[in-house]
Structure 1
């Protein structure tokens, strides 16, 4: 779908992109200034595999300030993006035949990473439109081969957010299975609207078994700077450090210096982005609710995506194109309305469509109007 959108743009067609997984804001000036200072101060040597000590200290400060979690610097590994942090952990811990529980919808790379480690992805589908599994469903998925549970809140692609009470219910299940490790992907942590999702490691009894993954891409609009990090037990952090040392070594030295500044400033300095995302969320939901066939039972509580059920269009013919699934529907929107989205089957939810509102209000209005015109 992405390649097709690029191809149309290269032909001069005005494609509105609502498929982006990154903020459309510029990086705050105080972060840019830190990077410029790093260049002028000649930060150009190889960095330590697990990150500069100053950045690891900043990460520890962030965890204490924002999540009430206390880590030592040898529990932190800085990587080239949160994606690398996750794959480091999976490759270090998952053995052939091990099962990894992945609630759906899920970020597309999780299952591929498990496959790379020769593990087995066990998908658990929510029973309702909340896009969240229950504790009972979690327990039903556990077997004697279960090695790991993947959590992602706020969630990509649905924007759903687990509450403290829901995490407590998960913890009660996991207490019965002490060998299961949890990866908590919290990259959208600061982009929430209704309530702040807790860090899973802060739930009583879950600290030692949780690998917390975060980064600077989403909250600070630093996607291209590729700085992510994980916090885990010293043993796991050491294993991830070894894994990374044989693949990429240390992350970019300039970006690390910029990340120190980003993390040491209070999250309130980037709250303006969250406030704008919330305005856009409300706008896109209002517009989509005016189109018959798009079902959004509850507004997303975090991230910058809506994930409507569009299965009512399946089996129909629209503008001479038969719609059998979400991929067909997304292709129709791209080829005819020139609006780029992402089909839900990529995320394990084939009845849905991911629409990003990391775009200007003008683009959102124009895109949804195009879709409405197409389907009317």
Structure 2
């Protein structure tokens, strides 16, 4: 993997760059649609490419490990061939999913023992095992195994968790560096900064991660319930330390406004289930603000869902029709809304990139944050 920094914004820390992988080039800043179990929910690969214009998608180690299982994925030739997606893939390590299973998992120095949410069977994730799992899944970018702390948590717990994450990281790196990919292309490895919402811990973790000299770095443990301003503060502390010549990935974030603010702080990569999950519940993110398509006010609105950017789905279907489909619980509603929301997110980060290259990002960002945050 190679990262090239093309332009920095003069009035913020926003950056425009590009990441070269064996499955294609990713132009940053970028949003990665979440394909948890090998599928971006309600969206066909064809639409991901042509309408959404996704450059990279995310898969989840925990879910793919449980179902369909590593044997099936390996026999298929890796996740790319199994799903028919020929562009880059990133896999998270399963750390967040294990964190979310608080009632059914046990963490110790060796790793995590947890019960499957599918059938209750017992499983054991170790740093070494998670590297092997992600090698088998075959993602272009694989993540370190970490512990994601809850919010709020005490400083003592956050410190112990961060130090465990760092020890796990060293084991992950050793295993990654002594193994090879299985499918004839290169994989790269990102460590993850932790430290909850404590400045001293975040700075210590960022310094430790920066010292590892990997091809990219991630910021984890945010967007777990803390106020947005606190998330931005943590992000700024970390981006000031992480190396400038490596991509920075803020995991699990977030709303359009969150993404714009984090881009201004120097973040390059994002993922979040929000655009697809909220789409399935009738919430649309648009160039003019946020729409709850279930509301009565859209019943006779025959204007397109969004004309603020060029997209054949957003520009073609009317709000009234999408409301009808949503209220009627038609499957097409989830498809249209998901394609629209993802297309908007990709358009938004694409516009951010263009504004960075043009030199007027900061002014544009401040205007867009106001627009995309308002309820219509």
Same-fold call, TM cutoff 0.5: no
TM-score (norm 1): 0.31
